[in-house]
Structure 1
């Protein structure tokens, strides 16, 4: 348990809850909602229970409860009210908060309990779009503001990957129903594969043959696929690689593969595609702004 984070700055509290630090201080002073400790330099620090309480209060506050009313509720009654509210209409917000807590504490059991509860009421696709994508968007911001460390991010993303693997495996016993072949890969030095894994799930779910090649694939190795198949739909996700300076060169090199296989295509997503000039793209290469946009083409 030595790795569990038990102390949070007011900036951590703001980043994790979305409530401004100034507002937290007002709630603390006016309504006595939190009792932070002070460092020797008089800096506020908050406990894990204070973070959990703030996340619960945030959910109530964002759903029309006035803070003056929340302050009058007995502390041990707040989680039950949140639970009832969640049952009524805000399960997604509550799940995101639970996943954030599981991440902060490296608590796999909490992650699993939360996920299983969602799966009783939602499809995996609904969980991914309604909960995991908003969660990952928040985590990106938390990581950039140093609220969480790379170890937190890796912990939660690997748990999400496990669920994608599990759901994909359930579908892979079926013989592909459609003729198209998809090959999914990440370019060299690219390791961020969560989005690509989910696209693989959608491809398998849609009944296509999928060849998942994974991380950091040398571009020359992809020639092997066009020798085996008359037409290959390549899909890749550019998060950090290739870099802005190298992306046009990469597109040019990949075009030579496509020239050898006129019926093949390359579909691209990710942050780095903003550096691709659409003017240089042949009609065999297409970019997408989101996973939803790409899967709509399947």
Structure 2
């Protein structure tokens, strides 16, 4: 069981700490515990309750009506409303609740509903990717545990692998070599890039997580890809990102290198001529749109 400060509840729910304190005093909404040193904290049950209260409040329920409901009634109403909703923030709320509860069945239900309504690609753009960005921040600030982050990441990873396997490659288009630097394990963006590349009729050579530079060189010499694509989320470290991009540019001068991620976006780096930064998947779709009309050349 995790412990949360009132600031953690604010970050996760979007409700200001001041408002939470008022609701706590006026409606006895929460009953914080105290450590041996008398520091207030909240548990998983408190977090789930506040997430659901925030959802209902955003959807027009007055706090006086919400506090009159039992916790089970609140949970049932929230899950039914979130599953039926097309709103992005409602879907993200439902997935956040499933993450906190480590509810695989609920996660599958929410995701399947979204895919049925929006399609797989749009679900990734409008729901999963914003959700993953949110939990990445929450994980870094300690508001959620590594176990919760890994739980959801692995479920999303499984969905992506299945979706990629269902795409038929037409034996045309450009060659893309996809990899992550050594020590980099955040694979979701790379997998979604692989899906988009295949959907657009191109070929993917997928090396995945933590690729040694020597292995990258060997595969490049063997396949001579048109594009290299990598995502630098946590590796290489801030002071090493420039050198890494420079090395990629020098070692693969004939390839167009596409890169994104926290370590390179808005960092004031000097971008080599054959390296192209992508701030988000919208940028990547534009690149694919640029090359798709001539994708049968190679």
Does the alignment pair 1:142 with 2:142? no
Which structure 2 segments of 5+ residues have no match? 289-298
State the number of aligned residues. Answer: 287
Structure 1: 5+ residue runs without aligned partners?
Answer: none
* SS of equivalent residue, structure 1 residue 267: strand
| Structure 2 residue 272 is matched with structure 1 residue 281 | yes
Q: TM-score, normalised by structure 1?
A: 0.83
SS of the residue aligned with 2:263? helix
Q: CA RMSD in A?
A: 2.8
Correspondences of 1:155-170 after superposition (within 5 Å): 155-170=151-166
| Aligned 1:193-232 pairs, distance under 5 A | 193-232=187-226
Using the alignment, how far apart are the partners of 1:78 and 1:64 within structure 2?
14
SS of residue paired to 1:266: strand
Q: 1:226·1:232 contact (CA, 8 Å) conserved in 2?
A: no
Contact 1:247–1:276 at 8 Å: present in 2 too?
A: no
Shift of 1:44: 4.6
For 2:191 and 2:132, locate their aligned partners in 1 and report how far apart those are by CA, in whole Å: 14
How far apart in 2 are the matches of 1:149 and 1:83?
23
Q: Which SS does the other structure have where 1:33 is aligned?
A: coil
Residue among 279, 286, 291 paired with 1:296? 286
Q: Measured at CA, do residues 241 and 86 of structure 1 come closer, stay the same or move farther in structure 2, by a change above 3 Å?
A: closer
Q: Which residue of 2 aligns with 1:272?
A: 263
Number of the residue aligned with 1:255? 249
**Cα displacement (A) at 1:193:** 1.5
Map 1:1-298 onto structure 2 (within 5 A): 5=1, 8-37=4-33, 43-46=39-42, 48-71=44-67, 77-79=73-75, 81-82=77-78, 85-86=81-82, 89=85, 91-171=87-167, 174-259=168-253, 262=254, 264-273=255-264, 274-275=266-267, 277-278=269-270, 281-282=272-273, 284-298=274-288
Distance 1:89 1:153, change over 3 A: closer
Aligned equivalent of 2:294: none
2:83 and 2:91 in contact (8 A); partners too: no
Distance 2:35 2:247 in 1: 56
User: For residues 244 and 39 of structure 1, what CA distance do their matches in structure 2 show?
Assistant: 37
Q: TM-score normalized by structure 2?
A: 0.83
